[in-house]
Amino acid sequence: MQVETPIQSVEQYSKRQQRLVGRLMDSLNKSESRLSEHYSHKRNHQRQPCSNYVLLRIPQKNESPVEVTAYMRDISAGGTAFLYPGDLALRSIIVGIPIPGKEPSWFEGEVVRCKQVMDEDFWDYGVRFRERIA
């Protein structure tokens, strides 16, 4: 599937995007903490808030996937959430979780949530890990 959104890595974000993503992450994390008790019984794995990068391999039509970084909001044994400046229109994605001093852990994931955040140019993604691939 070809992605229509221009591919953009964290290092390419404008100063405005950098400030905006920080505010959006703060706002989403506050909302998440207020709702955590409500949803905790529905989740199989406890979420841990984080503000790290996540690696994404985005498929391209007739080309190799493009690897970019995005801001990770949280992680659990079952998946991760991240912010990205655009609608990737994907159902599956390869996600790399950086591990200090080691190679990233790569997972095949299913996009289970993709919603625009507060009418801004960022989308909040939730990805369920299907299997570890490296």
- Give the C-alpha distances (Å, rounded to integers) separating 116 from 24, 63, 67, 69, 95: 11, 27, 22, 18, 20
Q: Which helix (H) or strand (E) holds 37?
A: helix 15-40
Q: Which helix (H) or strand (E) holds 50?
A: strand 48-60
**CATH: 3.40.50.2000, 1.10.10.10, 3.20.20.10, 2.40.10.220. Which one for 10-132?**
2.40.10.220
pTM equals 0.81
Ordered mean pLDDT values, 10 residues apiece, the chain (134 residues): 65 89 84 61 67 89 89 93 91 94 96 90 94 92
Domain ranges of the chain: 10-132
